[in-house]
Structure 1
């Protein structure tokens, strides 16, 4: 049970060694807000790992300030600045961060980008599901405080994740999914051991979807009715009824298509690759990105990145030496 007097702490057992893993790159202002919100968490985490993707702004100073502030809390929280020599993208950052968290003895790892903030009671709110599941995704508010749409399932035939319409929490406070989201996914070390580290080859885009899918091949992945994060970065978007479509970037467009090759590799590994269905899924992915350009960004500039990414995905598909990330030894 949570203590109601003084600082709250996690009870022993399934809730020990709770670490927050953040990946950041040149967004020190957002990172500062996130670390300040972590200082208000009650109960607090057992540690914070900031994976710094070779930032060139004031990230180091922000982390140093947070180290002092969180060390002075009634229940001190260590902040580890894990600096990388080069920018390996969000995927590489989370791969390095999970690896470092395991080395620090983490049992739970709450994964998040730098452009969110935490809800003060978030860890306690997730607690009831930590006793039952090894992979949990809590809910988020958007930048203006409204519920952010995130309810999907991965379709093996098409090789894409699709939105689930309606209120998935109408009859229950938990929804079984088979995708992940590194904007607040909570994973236990047992789930990581089975799935291996997040695949750094994705660089950005799709790494979390596939990571959740890999975990779901062995154990449940649950989307739960607990608001635990705020999105801090506003984005241009349109409401399509069953989901919101946000703006993107040329880099993201390239990797959206290029990473289709990696997705195919994982489907093949698990005997779930259908070339016809996957081709349809790839066409739908490209069509969605073109629609995003036209409807959200009001331009077709950037469409060439989709073509380049698709060509690179074909190279990955034809690579006979390709192999998935290996599982880890239990207790590694």
Structure 2
């Protein structure tokens, strides 16, 4: 790409669920941005708090168009980002910037991302953690194993970027031309691995990069195990189920693109199971019967999904 970046062609997509106060902070940060995006799309995953009133307030306060989509049921992050991307795409946005409700956008965040827009169609910026520390995101995935590579270098050279073959919906900045070729994020993931697969698909078409630009700040504290550069965050029993179950969906995407290696992928599934046990023991300091059970149930359901011959991956978008 060579065209100069116009911030008015960008849309920020925020997915929220029952975190009205965090959503308000996110929208306040949009108000401080310079430059600002052309529009903001808020996807409300059927919240039961006062999220609707927060959205209504900012529709009149922001000097940027705010489009609201309230879903009839909670479709998880995957469903929310799928609907948000669909909305932004239908409205004609050239660039779509995805994020959760528990971050603030740094004032010059869009300008920093826009610097890379003429060169790449899929860009991932960096994020400060809640305490101001630099968050390390595992941007490389072993396709054979289907898991992140934990020792991928954290530093950057003089180029200011590193190529990635994954994605993260907390900060994914993607061009509509690439969205058209991939299709929408798969809402069947509900939560977890959805952005990993979407980034994998993007990297099959275009060089995708994480850049040495801090553009987001987390606004919610998460219990974690500090391992130096890397951290292991606390999770939940629901997450543990989907972490295992969704590997069945992942296998279909890898299979469709000729990258599925059954034995290696099974090893990656075992490694994922072990990692979740470590998370239970060292981060949350509890190994409950429910947590253990959700891992087993998720793995069982994932195996059944992987064997479902009627499963079809998401299709590219039409004009």
Per the normalisation by structure 1, the TM-score is: 0.92
Deviation of residue 165 (structure 1)?
4.1
Provide the rounded CA distance (Å) in 1 between the counterparts of 2:283 and 2:271: 17
SS of equivalent to 1:272: coil
Q: Does 1:62 align with 2:54?
A: yes
Residue 8 (structure 1) aligns with: none
Find the partner of 1:183 among 165, 170, 190. Answer: 170
- Given that 1:108 and 1:188 are in contact with CA atoms closer than 8 Å, whether structure 2 keeps it comes out as yes
TM-aligned CA distance change 1:164 to 1:171, over 3 Å: farther
Q: Does 1:323 align with 2:315?
A: no
Provide the rounded CA distance (Å) in 1 between the counterparts of 2:129 and 2:233: 12
Q: Does 1:261 align with 2:253?
A: no
Provide the rounded CA distance (Å) in 2 between the counterparts of 1:38 and 1:236: 27
Find the partner of 2:300 among 296, 301, 311. Answer: 311
Gaps of 5+ in 2: none
Find the partner of 1:279 among 247, 255, 266. Answer: 266
TM-aligned CA distance change 1:242 to 1:12, over 3 Å: closer
Report the RMSD for the aligned CA atoms in angstroms: 1.3
Q: Does 1:93 align with 2:85?
A: no
Find the partner of 1:203 among 169, 177, 190. Answer: 190
Gaps of 5+ in 1: 1-10, 71-75
- Given that 1:154 and 1:178 are in contact with CA atoms closer than 8 Å, whether structure 2 keeps it comes out as yes
Matches within 5 A, 1:153-232: 153-232=140-219
Matches within 5 A, 1:140-155: 140-155=127-142
Provide the rounded CA distance (Å) in 2 between the counterparts of 1:35 and 1:142: 18
Provide the rounded CA distance (Å) in 2 between the counterparts of 1:66 and 1:124: 22
- Given that 2:128 and 2:217 are in contact with CA atoms closer than 8 Å, whether structure 1 keeps it comes out as yes
Matches within 5 A, 1:42-53: 42-53=34-45
Residue 18 (structure 1) aligns with: 10
- Given that 2:7 and 2:110 are in contact with CA atoms closer than 8 Å, whether structure 1 keeps it comes out as no
- Given that 2:8 and 2:36 are in contact with CA atoms closer than 8 Å, whether structure 1 keeps it comes out as no
Deviation of residue 151 (structure 1)?
3.3
Give CA-to-partner distance per residue, 1:8-53, whole Å, 9 cap, x none. Answer: xxx9666551000011000001000000000001000100000000
Find the partner of 1:36 among 19, 28, 39. Answer: 28
SS of equivalent to 1:21: strand
Residue 125 (structure 1) aligns with: 112
